[in-house]
Every structure is written in structure tokens, then in C-alpha cells.
Structure 1
């Protein structure tokens, strides 16, 4: 299949699914329910929403600061401003092309800080592994809190058969890639192997970093800020301010997966957040309004900081030079 067509499908399919979920969600509501959703939007405390967004932006700043902990063992220490703008651009890119943000972050540092792309990208992959561990940790907590309800909900959303097929496909791809790198003698293999070695160096930079304790502490603070941002957003509506922290953690996990594994949760995030809140007896109208308020406010901040970073990045580095 043509590479352009594949790229187009990667962008268009998630967007199409997001549009479908939006249509599907709202087509179920009566006129009165739609009016209720509009009421929740208009009566939300947007001062609290802004505070929630502030915690989220602060987590992005700390992520940029933490990045240097992994780059230092490779012999690089980029400017914090460049790191922060690279992170902002990454979140912006992920809105339009899923998972393209990791590539854009490495490109920014390659261009403005002379950090080789493969090494910078390797540190980002390592960082994502750490993030996945934290997300799985929160998932484990959520399962311990309400295993039955969460399991039944996920079983309806994610069919086990499809999940098994996807895992088999991933394992097969890894095995084929390994055999290609080990036994092929082609020029393509040499290029791929060279890239792989640089990537490996970046990934394993976490093992060689000097300040592992500080890295772990910052990682805990970053994920604590994610949860604090989400908890704060719950206080923006009177109807959700009474939701217990145990339920908030579960909704946080579901929302995190929806945001991380789609194009920044477009259509998916409000749908899944409303769906899991229904399990805990929160009306779907309230859950839908809440999901859209959280998603829209965060996306607005991502677009704002991302566009500003795209504009300021070349000027900052021109002045610096």
C-alpha cells in the first residue's frame, strides 16, 4: 500500500471514529437532555477549570525539566526553554497525527540543540515506558478499588478476542524485526541497525543517569499533578464535586487510556468518561458535559502553548545564538 495512503488512513480513521462517537453520543439524547448538557456547560466554574489546566501545564514543564536527566548521560544538556517548547509542540502534533509528537520532540532537539534524532527519540521512548508503568500502577489501584465494575465495563468496550489478535500481531512483528536485524546483510539492514543502536543508547540512558532518585520523584510529582488536575476539574460542577476520590481515580485511568491511545481523545475522551461515570450512577448528561469540559480546556491549552512554541522557538534560538 502506498505510504501516503497509509499516512492518510492513520489520520483519517481515528478522526472518523471520533466524529462517529460524537454523533452516536448526542443522537441518544432527547431535547431536554441536550438542554441539561448545555446548562452544565454554562454553569461550570471556569476559574476552577483554569486551575485544573494550570496543574496540567505545570506537569508539562516538569516533564521538560526531567528530560535532561536522561540526556545528560549521553553528553547533552539542552536549554530548558527548548525542552519545554518541544514538549508543547509534541502535544500539539498528537492532536492531528497520533503518536507523531514523540518524533517532533526529537526533531526539535536535533535542530536546535544538536541532539542526534535517534538518541533523543530513544530517551523519549524510555520516558514513555516510565509513563506506561505509572499508568499501569494507577490501573492496578483502580482494579483493587472496584474490580467488578471496571472489568465489566472494559470487557464491553474492549473485546478480548480483538485484544488477543492485536497482541499476537505485535509479538510476530517484534520477532520478524529481530530476525531481520540479526541475519539480513542488506544495506537497509545496516541503516536500520545503525538507527537501532542509537535508539538503544537513548532508551537505556535511564540506567546510566546519575540522579535516579530525583527522576523517580519528578515522575511521581508529574503523575500526581495529572491526578490533581483531574480531581480539580471535578470541582467545577456541583454535580461532580461530590464524586469520591476512589471513583475519580477509576475515571482518571479510563480517560488517560482514551487520551493516550487515540488522537488526543477527540470524540473518545468524553464518550468513555461519560460511560464509566454511568457505571457509578452519574447521569450520562453530566458525564458527557464534564468530559467535554475537561477535554476542551486541555486541548485549548495545548493548542495555545503549542502554537506559541512553534512561533517562539526559532526566535528564541536566533537570539540565543
Structure 2
């Protein structure tokens, strides 16, 4: 009973938040802005939308190809088509419960390639750590390029920048302490936990010990490069965004990426984040909203299509 309630809440809460954001955004738009957004969707140059979707395919492919290096290091020779299709299904599942796609991905790999769940999930956790580091690099670059603009924005909103820096430093120190305790502590509870999580840890450590670690790192950066390019080419779909500079695009990409984790696949949060960050650079609210919804809708439809096709093909192509 508790498990079903927990599952219901994990699904419904992000969805409610997303719908709430959409409701809030809709009610803050004037009739004139709503009409302009409608016109933007009608007059958008969809060649660039289709181009962004084509670029997105490289991200799916590269993520699946990168995964093979970690699995091969653990001694598992999986079929690439299964790796790719499980990745596509995981993206689809993430649209329901945030981050649940990682679990389904490891479960499908166990079902069709007989890779132990804990080891497969460990390689996925390792991927997420690498992805997080790359996102932090993007954030650092964005802060350096746009420090004055972001600092002024925080001041205007009454946020103390120094307090944020202090909180980040305290969080980093606590994280380092936890890592040191995990590595060096001989407490029984730590040793028992390490034993239970041995398969997961082996999967996570596969990156450090694998033969093709540099290929793995290359694909890690290529994945995020494809994401950025996918986002970038979409600016040419609207004449109002076609002339914005690349550093502003990077800021939009960063905030959009962070927004995806707040709701189901960024529902509501992604367009709102894009509109807010673009407003800092004088881009009209209706243009920012239209752009955010164009990007989010097109990518979500691609995710749903690839996920459903992969889910249907997996049992068909793996008949024994």
C-alpha cells in the first residue's frame, strides 16, 4: 500500500508542478502575447526544428555507443541495437517519473542482455556523474561569460550572491567529508553497505578502469555538444531569436537543462526558464515563451516516438 502511494506521489507531484507552471505562465500572458505566440508557431521555419531533431538523433546514438565501453569493461558484449533501444525507452519513461528511466534502462538490459541489474545500473549512475560534471562546466562557463548580468539579476530579486557562494562551499566540504568517510572508514555499517552495493560500485568504477576511457570521455562531450547544437539551431526557426548571440544561447541551454529535472521532462518548467533567462537580454516574453515551447514540444514528441517504437521492437527483435 505504501509503495503504491509512494509511486503515485512520485508520478503526480512533478506533473502537478508542471501543470501549475503552465497555468501560471498562461495567466501572466496578455491576450496580445498569446496571439503573438500562436502566430510564432504558425510562421516558424520548421526546417530548423527538423534539423534540431536530426541532430538529437546523434545524441541518442552516442549515449548508447558510450554505454558499450563500460559494459565491455565488465565483460558483457551487448547488441548495440538493444543498447540504443533501451536508451530511447529510458528517455520516454523519464517523461513520467523524473530519473525513473535509469531504472527501466538497467531492467531492460538485464531482460534482453542478461546483464546483472546492479552492475548495469552502476554504469548508468557513473554516466550521470560524468554528465553532471559536464553540466557544471557549462554552468561555470555561463557564469564567467555572463557574471555581471546574472549578478545584477540576483540583486534585483533580493538574492544575496555571497550567501549562494557560501552555501556551495559548505555543500562541497560536506560532500568531500562523505567521500572520505566512505573510502577510509572501517565502520561495520559502511563495510556492510559496500558489500551489498558491490555490483553497483563495480559498475560505477568501470569508467576509471576501462581500456577505452578516452573514447568514453569523447562521447560524453559529444553527447552534450549535440544537445547544445540541437538547441542552438532552433533559434533560427523564429526571426526574433535568429540574431541572438551564442553566449545567450548557452545561457538558455543551461537554464533549460536545469529546468528539465523539476517536472516530467521539463513540462511547463522548460519554457518558463527559457522565457525568464531570455527576458534578461531584452527578448520579449512572448518570443521567449514561443521559443521554449517550440523546443520542448518538438523534442518531447521525438522522445515519445523513439521510446514507443523501441519499446515495441525490443521483444520482436529479441525473440528466441
Task: Give the structure-2-normalised TM-score.
Answer: 0.89
**For residues 4 and 159 of structure 1, what CA distance do their matches in structure 2 show?**
41
* DSSP-derived class of the 1:150 partner: helix
* Separation in 2, partners of 1:195, 1:87: 26
Alignment match, 2:271: 270
The corresponding residue for 1:283 is 284
Alpha-carbon shift at residue 288 of structure 1 (Å): 0.3
Count of matched residue positions in the alignment of Structure 1 and Structure 2? 311
Cα offset, 1:26, TM superposition: 1.2
> Any stretches of 5+ residues in structure 2 without a counterpart?
none
Q: Structure 1 residues 244 and 84 mapped into 2: Cα distance closer, same or farther (>3 Å)?
A: same
**Residue 232 (1) aligns with residue 237 (2):** no
Kept after mapping to 1: 8 A contact 2:255/2:274: yes
Distance 1:309 1:158, change over 3 A: farther
Over 3 Å counting, the alpha-carbon distance change for 1:242 and 1:157 in structure 2 is farther
User: What does residue 148 of structure 2 align with?
Assistant: 148
Residue by residue, what CA displacement relative to the aligned partner does 1:97-135 show, whole Å, maximum 9, x if unpaired?
A: 111011011011111001100000000010111111111
Q: Secondary structure at the match of 1:198?
A: helix
Q: Following superposition of structure 1 onto structure 2, how do residues 182-261 of structure 1 map, counting pairs within 5 Å?
A: 182-184=187-189, 193-261=194-262
User: What RMSD, in angstroms, separates the aligned Cα atoms of the two structures?
Assistant: 2.8
Contact residue 94 and residue 101 of structure 1 kept, 8 A: yes
CA shift, 1:158, in A, is 8.7
Structure 1 gap segments, 5+ residues each: none
Instruction: Write the distance in 2 (CA, Å) between the matches of 1:263 and 1:152.
Output: 31
Contact 1:118 / 1:195 at 8 angstroms: preserved in 2? Answer: no
- CA deviation map 1:218-237 (0-9, x unaligned): 22221111111111111111
Does the CA-based 8 Å contact 1:40-1:289 persist in structure 2?
Answer: yes
Give the drift of 1:313.
0.2
Shift of 1:154: 6.4
In the alignment, the residues of structure 2 paired with residue 9 and residue 266 of structure 1 have an alpha-carbon distance, to the nearest angstrom, of: 17
CA contact (8 A) 1:181 1:193 kept: no
Cα deviation for residue 57 of structure 1 reads: 1.8
Hey, what's the Cα distance between the residues in 1 that align with 2:6 and 2:152? 34
Conserved? CA contact 1:49–1:297, under 8 Å: yes
Residue 32 of structure 1: aligned partner = 32
Retained in 2: the 8 A contact 1:153–1:276?
Answer: no
TM-score (norm 1): 0.89
Structure 2 counterpart of 1:71: 71
Deviation of the 1:255 alpha carbon: 0.5
Pair 1:102-2:105 in alignment:
no
CA contact (8 A) 1:126 1:203 kept: yes
Q: Give the direction of change, closer, same or farther, for the CA distance of 1:106–1:162 in structure 2 (3 Å limit).
A: farther
Shift of 1:182: 4.0
